[in-house]
Amino acid sequence: MNRGLRARALSVLAANDRVTYTVPSGLLYPFQWNWDSCFVALALQTVGSPSEGEDRAWRELETLTRHQWTDGMIPHIVFHTDHDGYFPGPSFWGTECSSPAGTPTSGITQPPVLGLVLEQLWSRSSQDDSARLRCRALVEAVNRWHRWFGLARDPQATGLVSILHPWEAGRDNSVDFDRALASVPITDLPAYERRDTTVVAEAERPTDDDYDRYIALVVLFRGLGWDAAALHDASPFRVVDPGFNAILLASDRALARLGPAVGHPEIGDEAARRAAIGLDALSELWSPDRGQFVCRDRRSNLLVDNASIGGLLPVLVLDRDDVRLHHLCTQIEEWLQLAPFGVASQHPADAGFDPQRYWRGPTWLITNHLLAMGLRRTGRDDLADRIAGSSRSLLERSGFAEYYDPLTGAGLGGSTFSWTAAMAIELSMPHPSPLGEVDRLGDREPPRL
Ligand code: DGY
């Protein structure tokens, strides 16, 4: 990456830096978001002197985990300040008492990339006593979060967890969720005003109907006092997302390696057990017709016949000799042929594909990053390099947009976006995303079909 781009990425991060945390985007998202902060921490580690960078990266994550709920959940938004630029804000969620820190948060969670990120930070850190202590405390927090997933989101112990709100997937308006979301009743909704469409064109955001249902879920959960068990059983939206589960499994594998390194071998064993069970269970989301994984609606127990990027993310966890990995790579190649600017969020030949509308088609640098991480660990550096190359060309062509049109490369959504800047910095690293060097599967040949 050219030096100018790195300097611009650093200035985006500096503008969004709030000293102990980073906002995704000053106008559109003026608080701390869970998975945004995790990706941003990777870049923060490289800013300033090695000790300054390391300190700032740990701090970003410590700020997030300080707002972990007493039941173990790490919320998707921490409302550190008052700001009326975002809806639904703190008073709408009504969760004030759930985190010991007392700062209001949202009441739902987000894709658990924290374990994955921690391993990367640790592998590049000084690994001195202070780093070990800080990483150890974060490992404990992640392990409590992952236990919470099992209890709160997989009460039948199937090995796979549900999301109860599309915002939890981070892929809010994916075609994957259309049917489940349509079953959310929207009678008796309080009046509310969207803020997102005052900043971003409506055609690039979820529809008003989507929003009504997002808000209806928040109102329902708020009425249940944010009691995790009650939410699970009462939610009309309960979806098992392969992307979300693959991220959780990959993070558990990261904990399995990291636990012993920071003096918690028992956490390592516990995480390894969870990952083994989850990986086995993931098979039930495989669609031979689609050649990829798909969601399952946990209420109807039916698979959702749709090809989204969520179903490609299991490249993070499949073994190199798993034939399904080969199919996923074929899918990624096909998608890139149809839409060359990064991997689209929805199959580009699908009727539901919309290249501009948020998670119904646009490409995102963080999902490109996760796919590339997964591919590298299985020896598909060629495909990972192709994805990384397309991410670079998006940055050069359209700057630090929230997401991009995968057909034209045009920037979409919010501008000067933190996680996009963070991914730009990540792409400039000499050794791209190792995803636990110890997890690389040696020099065995990929399977021949
Ligand atoms: C939003 O508000 O658009 C977010 O995706 C929810 O976190």
In whole angstroms, give the CA distance from residue 23 to residue 25.
5
Per-residue pLDDT tens over the stretch 7-27: 999 999 999 999 999 999 999
Distances (CA, A) of 166 to 108, 171, 265, 428: 10, 7, 34, 32
Mean pLDDT for the chain? 94
Q: pLDDT tens digits, residue range 222-249?
A: 999 999 999 999 999 999 999 999 999 9
Residue bearing tokens 């929207």: 186
* Sequence-ordered list of residues with C-beta below 8 angstroms from that of 52, at least 6 positions apart, any chain: none
Supply φ then ψ for residue 303, to 5 degrees.
-75, 150
The finding on whether 76 has its CB within 6 A of some atom of ligand 1 is yes
Chain CA centroid to CA 203, Å: 23
User: Do 406 and 344 touch, CB atoms closer than 8 A?
Assistant: yes
CB contact at 8 A, 159 and 283: no
Question: Which residue of 29, 34, 357, 403 sits with most ligand 1 atoms within 8 Å of its CB, as the best mutation to test the pocket?
Answer: 29
Looking at residue 444, its pLDDT comes to 30
Residues in the chain: 449
At residue 242, the pLDDT reads: 98
pLDDT at site 447 = 29
Nearest to 3 by CA among 428, 327, 340, 358: 428
Report the largest interatomic distance among the alpha carbons of the chain, rounded to a whole angstrom.
59
Phi, psi of 293 (to 5 degrees): -85, 155
**Ligand 1 pocket check: which of 167, 200, 360 to mutate, most ligand atoms within 8 Å of Cβ?**
167
Instruction: Report the distance separating Cα 230 and Cα 321, nearest Å.
Output: 41
pLDDT average, residue stretch 59-74:
97
25 near 418, Cβ under 8 Å? yes
User: pLDDT at residue 296 above 80?
Assistant: yes
Instruction: Give the model's confidence band at 101: pLDDT under 50 very low, under 70 low, under 90 confident, else very high.
Output: confident
Mean pLDDT of 422-435: 77
The predicted structure's pLDDT at residue 431: 56
Which residues, other chains included, contact 224 with Cβ-Cβ below 8 Å and sequence gap of 6+? Answer: 230, 231, 234
DSSP 118: H
Tell me which residue of 77, 68, 64, 73 sits closest to 30, measured CA to CA: 77
Residue nearest to atom 4 of ligand 1 (CA): 167
326 C-alpha to ligand 1 centroid (Å): 33
Query: Catalytic site residues?
Result: 172, 402
In short, whether 80's Cβ falls inside 6 Å of ligand 1 is no
Q: What is the DSSP string of 201-263?
A: -GGGS--HHHHHHHHHHHHHHHHTTT-HHHHHHH-S--EE-HHHHHHHHHHHHHHHHHHHHTT
Whether residue 343 contacts residue 367, with contact meaning beta carbons closer than 8 Å, is answered with yes
Structure tokens given for 296: 């399952």
Q: Please give the model's pTM, rounded to 2 decimal places.
A: 0.95
Distance of CA 344 to the CA centre of its chain: 15
Interval 176-196 mean pLDDT: 96
CB atoms within 10 A of CB 98: 22
Averaged pLDDT for residues 427-441: 55
Atom of ligand 1 nearest to the CA of 172: 5
Average pLDDT over residues 269-284: 98
Q: What is the pLDDT of residues 301-341, one digit of tens each?
A: 999 999 999 999 999 999 999 999 999 999 999 999 999 99
Q: Return the amino acid letter for 182.
A: A
Dig out the tokens for 170 from the structure.
Answer: 């981070």
The gap from C-alpha 207 to its chain's centroid, in whole angstroms, comes to 22
